[in-house]
Chain A
Amino acid sequence: MGLQIIKPDTNIDFVGIRKIAFIISAILILCGLGSLLIKGGPKYGIDFAGGMIVQVRIDKATDAAAVKDAVNEVNLPGLVVQSIGLEGDHEYLIRTSSSDITSEEVRAKINNALTDNLGASFEIQRLEMVGPKVGADLRSQALEALFYAVLLIAVYISGRFEQRWTAAAVMAAALGGCVYGLGLLDLDMGWLILAALFITVGLCWYLKLNYALGAVAALIHDVLITVGLFSIMGKEFDLTIIAALLTLVGYSLNDTIIVFDRIRENTIAKQGKMPFGQIINLSVNQTLSRTIMTSGTTLLVVFCLYVMGGSVIHDFALALLIGITVGTYSSIFVASPILYGFGPSELPKTEED
């Protein structure tokens, strides 16, 4: 047998330390939410807010402030200059919020300003312009995507894990109805989704779909922490970050489900012989080695992406790094203890499959 990170007889009392885990999670979530409140919501990139960005690379060492000074004189509204990529790339994003000047004008203005003031050669590598209408559309689409992902996954877990497709269907129908009803109220998409998520959790709880409840709660936990950390770090939200968030949703669930699968298997095998808390502990310990291995290798490659992937993909990789770490943590310390808190749901009479 090869190497082993986790000894086979490891028995950590995960259920016993759940309070500490909940406190850590609560602190992380509250810090993130606090940051979002203070900053007035997430900082949207041009994909969602509209505006224009121009990415330039400059052939000598300089800093964002110098680039900003160079561009400042041409009077671009809402001008922001930031350094992107790793140090030594000398790549900068010049962002302006205006919608009434054309991209042609912006390109020309920046070209002139940099030629006149910088004394180094440079290249405009990328220019993106998103109108306010498209930005708003993209934003609501992205939120909708996040929401439907959570919804479908909740339905799948309820059906698959507890053989309760009827309850899952009831939940899907109820949620569909609620979302339709809320849609009529013409609320902001963000609130709509928040409301829908609360309804999902409420329905899972009411219908005693405990596996789905644990998984969805862990998922919301992961997304909240990642979004919060992004807000604290002052990173912008754009389409690639949403892609990263959805990937993390998939990944985190993947992790959670593998643990839940074991819990289900052990519950059936050891029914009546062991309290539920111990079954959960046993299952988490049994899968611990796999959890660490997989997260480890995934983090390894994502880290390579973060370091070497280039400026455009940098933030995407960062979101994945945070997300995978949080997702791994939540499947061990959050999802299973929640399942414990609500007790085992009614089990199917026979083990199918």
Chain B
Amino acid sequence: MQSLRLRAVIALAVVLLGLAFMLPSLPGVKDSSLGKILPGKGVSLGLDLKGGIHLTLGVDMKTAMDNSLARLGDDLKASAREQEVYILRPNVLDENQIEVTLIKAEQKDTFESVIKDSTPFAIEESTPLEGDKVKYVLSVSPKYRSEIEKLTMEQAIKTIRNRIDQFGVAEPDIRKQQDNRIQVQLPGLQDPERAIKIIGQTAHLEFKMVDDSADLKKAQQGILAPGRELSSLLHRQANGSYAESPIVLKKDAVLTGEYVSDAQVRLDQWNTPYVSLTFNARGGKIFTDLTGENVNKRMAIVLDGKVYSAPVIRERISGGSASITGNFTREEARDLAVVLRAGSLPAPVTILEQRSVGPSLGQESIDNGVMSAMVGMALVLAFMVIYYGFSGMVADIVLILNIMLIMGGLAAFGATLTLPGIAGIILTIGMAVDANVIIYERIREELRRGLSASQSVSEGYGRATLTILDANVTTVIAAIILYQFGTGPVRGFAVTLTLGIITSMFTAIFVSRILFDLYLKNRSDKAKLSI
């Protein structure tokens, strides 16, 4: 049995610590002079209480992989060319393979050594074709694939973070989840649709030459010259919607968004906004050469597969800037500039889950939650005093301490309080008295057996402690599993429940015992105990 004084000091220290972390959560304290000395910033509120947006984005890993394979294929073609080995344009197959055709069979050995040396490809099969050609099917190793997946996820998260930063959201939370998913939480944001548009846009910008000699009718029937593709040119209508007309482009992009260093909204002489792009040094040089070589031809500006404009190049354009016009509204132009500045996503993303809560509902939820907690707590407090008398008051004191410690604990661990979290606290209020009740009923039994007050208290605590531990461990198990499997709000609930159980054991077993010991300390053994 430790000394009473030591236990009291420990209890007081814990309570003060909890109080220090809890106080900043109260309105008014955080910004006061007291709030400045206290640690932490108080409990942060979840999206369901603050209002805001929760998104789960799925990254289209297949497209990312196909793009990456296509790029590797191009690299392979280039390396082969350096050895004067010629292959046809590589084709990306399903199952992470590419197909290349070697034109001259006698170069087989050289080509195979090129494959070995310069790329992560391994040869799956090679089939001689008629004539002198050999068809190869190449595949990349699983290790390389997972490397690509990792890079893609990292880049996607970085890009999304960039965009959100430019969009200006306080405390955004962006994190990777399993299965190539990204979770984005934007507290306090009012305009979910616009945010989704900005986050979700791939913003893959390409400049491609227009093939004006192509026959549009044939192209629409699917007859295209090699290296050409059919795309659609957007025309903005007076009512704001877009009409599309077919256009044939050369497949290879002459320049891409990677070379863009800045994008800004500007106004032309008719006050129509457009997006002005600035290239980096290398991009500027490519653009200057390109425009010089292609005077009087049309160049298409392609964003995510749609042609926004296809102006005729009148002269060589130096200075490293270009513009995208498209009769945008000012907001559209601004959002487009944001996504172009932040860079393109390495793969398209789809919105798998979206939850947006208006701020008014959030406030209402807090009010309702706090209100029902107060009423519930008042009822329990009153009931305990009526039922157990003085001991009921001890139980009430530790119950209030308990709530305080939960709030302090949430703040200290940086946990987020959600609506189910509030429910967890409310449930804890109900269950927290359980430990007291178990102890008190035991003490009553011992008193009935004729033991003195202090003996009964000692016996009661001793016998009840293990029971309480047993009972609570199972609840903690349930809570831990909730945390492990749950997402968002369910996790918040699990955290508060676990914290509530730990603090309620501390207050009910440790703190309340101190109070009883203090009460009984200077009394005779025959003292009556109000319980």
A residues near B (Cβ < 8 Å) are 1-3, 8, 55, 103-104, 107, 123-131, 133-134, 137-138, 141-142, 144-145, 148-149, 152-153, 156-157, 160, 239-240, 242-243, 246-247, 249-251, 253-255, 257-258, 261-262, 265, 286-287, 289-290, 293-294, 296-305, 307-310, 312-313, 316-317, 320, 353
CA distance A241 to B186 in the complex (A): 25
Which of B368, B466, B481 makes the CB contact (< 8 A) with A310?
Answer: B368
> Within the complex, which residue of B360, B426, B433, B463 is in contact with A305, where a contact is CB–CB below 8 Å?
B426
CB-CB < 8 A to A249: which residues of B? Answer: 478
Interface residue? B269 (CB, 8 A): no
**B371-403 at interface with A (beta carbon < 8 Å):** 371-373, 375-377, 379-380, 383-384, 386-389, 391-392
Do the beta carbons of A246 and B387 come within 8 Å of each other? no
Give 11 pairs: A residue, B residue, CB < 8 Å, sorted on A.
Answer: A107-B193, A126-B357, A128-B354, A133-B58, A243-B489, A243-B493, A293-B437, A298-B430, A304-B379, A308-B371, A313-B369
Q: Are A156 and B353 in contact (CB under 8 A)?
A: no
Q: How far is the CB of B456 from chain A (nearest CB, A)?
A: 11
Inter-subunit contact B481/A145 (CB<8 Å): yes
CB distance from A306 to the nearest CB of B (A): 8
Does B322 reach chain A (CB closer than 8 Å)?
Answer: no
Best-buried of B56, B427, B484 by chain A (most CB within 10 Å): B427
Q: With both chains docked as a complex, state the minimum distance between the C-beta of A120 and any C-beta of chain B, in angstroms.
A: 16
Complex contact B430–A300 (CB within 8 A): yes
Contact A239 B531 (CB under 8 A): no
- DSSP majority for the A interface? helix
- Find out whether the CB atom of A317 lies under 8 angstroms from the CB atom of B423: yes
Q: Contact at A309–B372, with CB atoms within 8 Å?
A: yes
Asked if residues B487 and A138 are in contact (CB atoms below 8 Å), the reply is yes
**Complex partner residue of A258 from B358, B467, B479, B489, CB under 8 angstroms:** B467
How many angstroms between the C-alpha atoms of A134 and B373 in the bound complex? 33
Identify A290's interface contact among B361, B423, B441, B447, CB under 8 A: B441
The docked-state distance in angstroms from the alpha carbon of A298 to that of B424 is 12
Across the two chains, which residue of chain A brings its CB closest to B200? A102
Q: Is the CB of B355 within 8 A of A310?
A: no
A107 to B193 alpha-carbon distance, docked (Å):
9
Q: Are B482 and A309 in contact (CB under 8 A)?
A: no
- Given A103-B354, A240-B489, do A247 and B372 touch, yes or no (CB 8 Å)? no
> Within the assembled complex, what's the spacing in Å between the Cα atoms of A254 and B427?
14
Q: Which residues of B contact A126 (CB under 8 A)?
A: 355-358, 361
- Contact check, B353 vs A131: say whether CB atoms are below 8 A apart: yes
Provide the bound-state CA to CA distance between A148 and B497, in Å.
Answer: 18
Please give, as numbers and ranges, the residues of chain B lying within 8 Å of A247 by CB-CB distance.
Answer: 427, 478, 493, 497
Would A258 and B477 count as touching, CB distance under 8 A? Answer: no
**How many angstroms from the CA of A30 to the CA of B59 in the assembled complex?**
45
Nearest 7 A-B pairs (CB), nearest first? A298-B430, A301-B376, A310-B368, A145-B485, A250-B478, A250-B475, A304-B376
Which of B58, B351, B371, B377 sits near A129, CB closer than 8 Å?
Answer: B351
Chain B hits for A302, CB < 8 A: 376, 426-427, 430
Q: Is the CB of A294 within 8 A of B433?
A: yes
B431 touches A152 (CB 8 A): no
Q: Shortest distance in angstroms between A332's beta carbon and chain B's nearest beta carbon?
A: 15
Residues of B within 8 A of A262 (CB): 467
Q: Is B429 an interface residue (CB 8 A)?
A: yes
One of B192, B384, B431 near A103 (C-beta < 8 A) = B192
Are B375 and A308 interface neighbours, CB within 8 A?
yes
Interface contact tally, CB-CB below 8 A: 242
Q: How far is the CA of A310 from the CA of B477 in the complex (A)?
A: 29
The closest CB in chain B to the CB of A8 belongs to B448
A240 lies within 8 A of B478 (CB): no
Q: Does B438 reach chain A (CB closer than 8 Å)?
A: yes
- Measured CB to CB, the closest approach of chain A to B286, in angstroms, equals 37
With CB as the reference atom, state the residue of chain A lying closest to B448.
Answer: A8
Complex-state Cα separation, A152 to B463, whole angstroms = 25
Chain A: CB-nearest residue to B369: A309
User: Is the beta-carbon distance between B48 and A261 smaller than 8 angstroms?
Assistant: no
* Residue positions of B touching A, CB distance < 8 A: 48, 56, 58, 179, 192-193, 196-197, 350-358, 360-361, 364-365, 368-369, 371-373, 375-377, 379-380, 383-384, 386-389, 391-392, 419-420, 422-423, 426-427, 429-431, 433-434, 437-438, 441, 444-445, 447-448, 463, 466-467, 470-475, 477-479, 481-482, 484-487, 489-490, 493-494, 497, 530-531
For the A-B complex with A126-B358, A287-B441 known, give 5 more contacts whose Cβ atoms are closer than 8 Å: A129-B355, A261-B466, A294-B430, A294-B431, A301-B430
Chain B positions within 8 Å of A157 at CB level: 474
Considering the complex, give the chain B residue whose CB is closest to the CB of A126: B357
In the complex, the answer to whether A2 meets B389 with C-beta atoms within 8 Å is yes
In the bound complex, what is the Cα–Cα distance between A204 and B385 (angstroms)?
A: 43
Interface-centre pick from A128, A153, A309 (highest chain B CB count, 10 A): A309
Of A130, A131, A312, the contact of B419 (CB 8 Å cutoff): A312
Contact B486 A243, beta carbon cutoff 8 Å: yes
Q: Separation in Å of the B449 CB from the closest CB of chain A?
A: 10
Whether the Cβ atoms of B490 and A240 lie closer than 8 Å is: yes
With A and B bound together, what is the CA distance between A166 and B358 in angstroms?
Answer: 53
Alpha-carbon distance between A308 and B482 when the two chains are bound, in angstroms: 25
Known A156-B473, A307-B372; contact A301-B353, beta-carbon cutoff 8 A: no
CA distance A194 to B384 in the complex (A): 41
In this complex, what residue of A is CB-closest to B372? A308
Best-surrounded residue of A2, A123, A157, A308 (most CB of chain B within 10 A) = A2
Cα(A349)–Cα(B160), bound, Å:
63
A147 to B487, CA, bound (A): 17
Q: Bound complex: CA of A138 vs CA of B438, how far in Å?
A: 38
Residue among B426, B463, B486 making CB contact with A304, cutoff 8 Å: B426
Q: Is the CB of B193 within 8 A of A316?
A: no
CB <8 Å contact, A2 and B379: no
* B471 and A239 contacting across the interface, CB-CB below 8 Å: no
Select one of A133, A142, A153, A240 contacting B477, CB under 8 A: A153
Most buried by B among A134, A242, A243: A243
Q: Which residues of B contact A299 (CB under 8 A)?
A: 430
Alpha-carbon distance A125/B52, docked complex (angstroms):
11
**CB-CB < 8 A to B392: which residues of A?**
2
A134 in contact with B356 given A145-B482, A294-B431, A312-B365 (CB within 8 Å): no
Shortest Cβ distance from A253 into B: residue = B474
B490 with A243: CB separation less than 8 A: yes
Report the separation of the CA atoms of residues A130 and B477 in the bound assembly, to the nearest whole angstrom. Answer: 29
Q: Complex: how many Å from CA A315 to CA B384?
A: 28
Q: Nearest A residue to B379 by beta-carbon distance? A: A300
Q: Would A141 and B485 count as touching, CB distance under 8 A?
A: yes
Q: Which residues does chain B contribute within 8 Å of A240, judged by CB atoms?
A: 420, 489-490
Residues of B within 8 A of A129 (CB): 351, 353-355
Q: Please pick, from A103, A123, A156, A290, the residue contacting B438 in the complex, using a CB distance under 8 A.
A: A290
Q: A103 and B467: CB pair below 8 A?
A: no
B371 surroundings in chain A (CB, below 8 A): 308
Q: If the complex has contacts A2-B531, A129-B353, A242-B490, are A300 and B380 also in contact, measured as CB distance less than 8 A?
A: yes
CB < 8 Å: which of A125, A257, A297 contacts B471? Answer: A257
- In the complex, what residues of A have CB within 8 A of residue B531's CB? 1-2
Provide the bound-state CA to CA distance between A299 and B380, in Å.
10
Knowing A149-B481, A316-B420, the reply to whether A301 touches B364 (Cβ < 8 A) is: no
In the complex, what distance in Å separates the CA atom of A3 from the CA atom of B471?
25
Chain A's closest residue to B492 (CB) is: A243
**B379 close to A250 (CB less than 8 A):** no
CA distance A246 to B497 in the complex (A): 11
By a CB distance below 8 angstroms, the chain B residues around A145 are: 481-482, 484-486
Report the bound CA distance from A218 to B458 in whole Å: 33
Q: How far is the CA of A299 from the CA of B438 in the complex (A)?
A: 17
Q: Roughly how many angstroms separate A55 CA and B494 CA in the complex, as a whole number?
A: 26
Q: Which of B196, B369, B419 contacts A104 (CB 8 A)?
A: B196
